[in-house]
Amino acid sequence: MKRAALLALALAVLVAPAILPWDFYVNIATQVLIAAIFALSLNLLVGYGGLISLGHGAFLGASAYAVIFLTTRAGMAQLPAAACAVVFATFLAALFGPIALRASGLGFLMITLALGQIMWGVAYRWVEVTGGDNGLSGFTRPQPFGLDLSSPHAFYVLALLVFGCSFAFIALLVHSPFGAGLRGVRDQPRRLRALGFDTWLIRYAAFVIAAFWAAVAGVLWAYYNQFVSPHVLSLTNSAEVLLMVIAGGAGTLFGPVAGAVIVVLLKNVASAYVTRWMMLLGIVFVVIVVFMPEGLVPGLARLRRRSTGGVARPRTEGA
Amino acid sequence: MRFWLVQSLNGLALGGLLFLLSSGFSLIFGLMRVANLTHGAYFMLGAYVGLSVLEAGHGFFAAVVAGALAIAVLGGIIERVLLRRLAGRTLAQVLVTLGIAFIISDSTLLVWSGDPMPLPVPAALQGGVRAFGVFFPKYRLAVVIIAVVAAVLLLLLLERTRIGAMIRAGVDDMDMARALGIPVPRLFTAVFCLGAALAGMGGVLGGPILSVYPGLDMDMLPLALIVLILGGAGSIGGAFAASMVIGFLYTFGQVLFPSLAYVILFLPMVVAIALKPKGLFSADAA
Amino acid sequence: MRRFALVLVASLASTAALAAEPVRVGFLTVNTGALAAGGRQMQEGLTLYLKQHDNKLAGRDIEVITLDTAGQPATTRTRTQEAVERYHVDVIIGPLAAFEALAINDYVKQAKVPVISPSAAAEDLTQRTPNPWFVRAVGTSAQPNQPLGEYAAKTLKYKRVATIGDDFAFGHETTAGFQRTFEENGGKVVQKLWSPLNVADYGSYIGQIKTDVDAVYASFAGANGLRFLRQYAEYGLKGKIPVLGNMTTVDEGILKNMGDEAVGVVSGGWYTAAFDNPENKKFVAAVRAAYGADPGYYTVGAYTAAMFLDLALQKVKGNVKDKDAFMKALRTLDIKDSFRGPIKIDDYGNPIMNVWIRKVARKDGRLQNTVLETYKDVSQFWKYPPKDFLKEPVYSRDSPPAKNVEK
């Protein structure tokens, strides 16, 4: 079947970097995976919950800061530090959630932006803990069970495993009754309330879960870069992941992954050939909107259906 | 006493600048429900256009008009070609407006080299005014006056003219406006052009204070968003009040709590939205 | 457009003899975003040096691989990895910002790739966390400000100074260097103001400056120096309270866009285009001919970095593959005379060099940093023994402590 062939191809693409010799491209592939986890987490809010956040970088950043601070400054061992970092960022989301969810629509976008900017300001200003704009460095990758993760290939495999877990978790989640509830809150909140659902609680849970996976991506981000500075908390970073989600296709499972591929590749590979790659990125976004306003993945699926002339099949995932 | 007076004037001047920045943003969002994230880039591009006009030897007034017109045309084209087909699709709007912002900011590097450049203060407004033992730059006072005049003109436009009535009808209830036979598409383009022109004009007027440099766009965008959230969508009075409140809050916050300077803008904002999600000065917001 | 053209040469046939193979230079610069102006000036400095030498240093062809870091540390790291792992560069010139250099510092140590820094000024890069693979072509943040502090107290006889600066590491370090020597020579810093990097308006800060001080020390980078000085003049303080500045507040790179508001600012810097020396005159004329403006911080930094590369290559007779020998050659450079006067690399990889006390004046129809005083052989440690200097905590917002600040 076509579907099986596609699946095999996808698996081959995912496994290839683990065995190919070129370090640089393996590292790029790792970055794509980390960005994809980050984008998948945000998609829970943006795509399934209809909550557009411009402050999601706060949770990735909080977790990256925490894991590096705990190991290099507080002398904690790697594994507990990673766990604490994820717990810390998730807890932060549990605190931020009730504030952010007071608003919806543009208000939500603004309040997440404000919370993100506050985190950025704290990272800049609280020099004793964060190192200010010089950031925190001197961090090394862990060696779980004697495995050396300093090689690009080994680290890719770790990122791939974590990516697999996050993808599976989110896939299961959006197909669960909770996922249906979340989409319901997005599309018909009044009806859901009438049916006795606690719409606020559903949104809140989605907010915290999204932050949890962003925090996981944050730990990987810290391992990958072995460095953290306030830039990770900047508006640019939060906007970038939001653009990944929308460009790839919000509310679909593969959309954020596709978005991560586009942005990371344009930023890191195309920039070697095109001086004005930022402009190119902008043009790519505009082109996507013109031809596939619903995003790349659902858009391509629609175009393919049209070209094969088949009757539109019901969508298997997403909205 | 002197301290409070100077800093109050500073707050007023910053508020005036913020109003020039954000009134167009608020108008566009109020009518069209488009969060135009290109607005900061419009502001910056307007300043650059104004700079080129000044460098070509024309006067400051010509620079303001040119900045406003250039951005109005650009905004009109973007609205007609791109945004029109995206009505109601918030995510696509975010993507396309941010995409255009990237394109604009990268293009300005090509054309204007990326060196930070000041816009000169017009000759008539150089120097300062001395009163009550306080010295204050004339140009900043002029910005406050221009902001007040702009607010009054916009209010008159909205309250006293036919097109204003149509816009108000659209802000209140789009379906009703359509049913009444208001030419909504043309109205949208007109309002978008007006909003963009205000941004371009604001850029030129802000130039002598802020200068123009790469990154100005992303420094300004959050400020416009804050004003919108606080002032409520589509309300000129709300935007004006919000601009002034933020101007004062920012000025006094920085002075009185210097160690919070990096977060002084956003901390009160979080409190405000948490307490009143629909905006402090208007019942109508997102 | 010419300015933006990438100097990107595809890797050539690997079968060529070793001698024919070029020395590969990974040039980390910024083409995108807020720091792009500095990136362009770096590009100009590097390009000019290579052009003057027909793209051949120590008999070797030079291949420059230009990489855009966008001024974001994470991207800088990827670009550095790209330079090392994809292009296998022999040496890196860059990156632009201090936080970028710090972001790649650990990686550079692991990968053992020589880095010549054309602009990053963070103190600890050549102090408490030295990196044997790192050499700086410019000064540390505080290096030119320590002489300025002494000059302000001893020669200008200022007693009370207020400081204002960008609230980030570079602003903290420059101000700290100034404050330390100023106060050790009898002056008092009576007020310290810090404005956020992205501050919308300096009005509220200028309104706070004490009116009973002898001078204001301003420490800004990028566009902020220009914005601050203009507003300082607008509020009528220019001419009333003199302004001292760090090097970048009145850098030639932005001085060309300034007006009378900058005239009279006294600053400390490891370069001035007005330095009266035949080599420098040639250099300034070449930059003016090619780019139409006086060379500033970034242009000079990158030009010097290329010069360091040239001289070190000559010392190892073009053999860059022996990385240890090449690095040793870089770290022991002792230049008797150059367009910046004598330059000697200290044990930590930082130049000992001339520092000028400069004053902005209008000369030949343009603003220039004219020379008031030359301090020779200025070390990053100023007059302190390195050991004692390094025992103190790194310069920061609160170090040295501000004992004389008045409420």
The pLDDT of residue A122: 93
Q: Do C200 and B17 touch (CB under 8 A)?
A: yes
Q: Which of C67, C84, C99 is the mutation pick for testing A, counting most A CBs within 10 A?
A: C99
The pLDDT of residue B64: 96
Q: Which of A295, A292, A315 is closest to A47 using CA atoms?
A: A295
Write phi, then psi, for A288 (nearest 5 degrees). -60, -45
pLDDT band at B280 (very low <50, low <70, confident <90, very high): low
* Averaged pLDDT, B10-22: 94
CA distances to A24, C40, C216, C263, C293 from C367, rounded to whole Å, are 46, 21, 21, 7, 11
CA quadruple A163, A164, A168, A171: dihedral sign: positive
Give the count of beta carbons closer than 10 Å to the beta carbon of residue C402.
Answer: 18
In chain B, positions 25-54, which contact chain A (CB-CB < 8 Å)? 29, 35
pLDDT band at A216 (very low <50, low <70, confident <90, very high): very high
Instruction: Confirm if C109 and C45 have CB atoms less than 8 A apart.
Output: no
Choose the closest CB to A289 out of B95, B274, B278: B95
CA quadruple A29, A250, A44, B39: dihedral sign: positive
* Averaged pLDDT, A186-193: 87
Interface of chain C toward chain B, CB-CB under 8 angstroms = 1, 3-4, 31-34, 36-37, 40, 167, 193-196, 198-201, 203-205, 207-208, 222-223, 226-227, 230-231, 234-236, 253-254, 256-259
Cα distance between residue A37 and residue A59, in whole Å:
13
**Which residues of A fall within a CB distance of 8 Å from C106?**
137-139, 226-227
pLDDT 10s digits, B108-136:
999 998 899 999 999 899 888 888 778 88
Choose the closest CB to B277 out of A107, A109, A236: A107
pLDDT above 50: residue B283: no
Buried b / exposed e across A262-278, counting CB within 10 Å, b at 16+? bbbebbbbebbeebbbb
Q: What percent of chain B has pLDDT over 70?
A: 97
Choose the closest CB to C106 out of A133, A137, A267: A137
Cα distance between residue C228 and residue B47, in whole Å:
18
* C-chain residue closest to B8, CA distance: C204
pLDDT above 60: residue A319: no
Q: Do C77 and A275 touch (CB under 8 A)?
A: no
Q: Do C193 and B258 touch (CB under 8 A)?
A: yes
ipTM: 0.89
* Averaged pLDDT, B195-211: 95
Q: Which of C11, C66, C78, C199 is the mutation pick for testing A, counting most A CBs within 10 A?
A: C78
Q: Which of B60, B66, B236 is closest to B153 using CA atoms?
A: B236
Q: Do A278 and C4 touch (CB under 8 A)?
A: no
Instruction: Confirm if B70 and B200 have CB atoms less than 8 A apart.
Output: yes
Phi-psi bin for A313: left (phi > 0), alpha (psi -120 to 50), beta? beta
Q: Which of B147, B130, B158, B117 is closest to B246 using CA atoms?
A: B147
Write phi, then psi, for C399 (nearest 5 degrees). -135, 120
Q: Are strands C266-269 and C334-335 parallel, antiparallel or unpaired?
A: unpaired
Q: Do A138 and C107 touch (CB under 8 A)?
A: no
Q: What percent of chain A has pLDDT over 70?
A: 96
**Which residues of B fall within a CB distance of 8 Å from C222?**
116, 213
Residues in chain C, pLDDT under 50: 1-17
Greatest alpha-carbon span in chain A: 63
Cross-strand pairs, B131: B134
Interface contact B13, partner C, CB < 8 A? yes
Assigned token pair, A49:
């919950």
Instruction: Confirm if B266 and B249 have CB atoms less than 8 A apart.
Output: no
pLDDT above 60: residue A313: no
Interface contact A303, partner C, CB < 8 A? no
**Which residues of C fall within a CB distance of 8 Å from A138?**
106, 129
**Which residues of A fall within a CB distance of 8 Å from B35?**
106, 109
**Which residues of A fall within a CB distance of 8 Å from C5?**
275
Write phi, then psi, for A52 (nearest 5 degrees). -85, 115
pLDDT above 80: residue A315: no
Interface contact B220, partner A, CB < 8 A? no
pLDDT 10s digits, C371-387:
999 999 999 999 999 99
**Which residues of B fall within a CB distance of 8 Å from C198?**
219
CA C19 to chain centre: 34
Greatest alpha-carbon span in chain B: 60
pLDDT 10s digits, A239-265:
999 999 999 999 999 999 999 999 999
pLDDT band at A317 (very low <50, low <70, confident <90, very high): very low
pLDDT above 60: residue B221: yes
Interface of chain A toward chain B, CB-CB under 8 angstroms = 46, 52, 99, 102-107, 109-111, 113-115, 117-118, 120-122, 124-125, 235-236, 239, 242-243, 246-247, 250, 276, 278-279, 281-286, 288-290, 293-295
**Which residues of B fall within a CB distance of 8 Å from A283?**
99, 103
Choose the closest CB to C78 out of A31, A132, A236: A31
Choose the closest CB to A267 out of C75, C85, C172: C75
Q: Which residues fall within 8 angstroms of residue C329, CB to CB, at 6 or more apart? A: C311, C312, C313, C315, C316
Q: Tell me the whole-structure pTM to 2 decimals.
A: 0.92
Q: Exposed, middle or buried by CB within 10 Å (0-12, 13-18, 19+), for B8?
A: middle
Interface contact A27, partner C, CB < 8 A? yes
Cα distance between residue B109 and residue B112, in whole Å:
5
* Averaged pLDDT, A52-72: 95
**Which residues of B fall within a CB distance of 8 Å from C226?**
116, 118, 211
- Count Cβ–Cβ pairs < 8 Å, chain B vs chain C: 110
Q: What percent of chain A has pLDDT over 90?
A: 62
The pLDDT of residue A309: 61
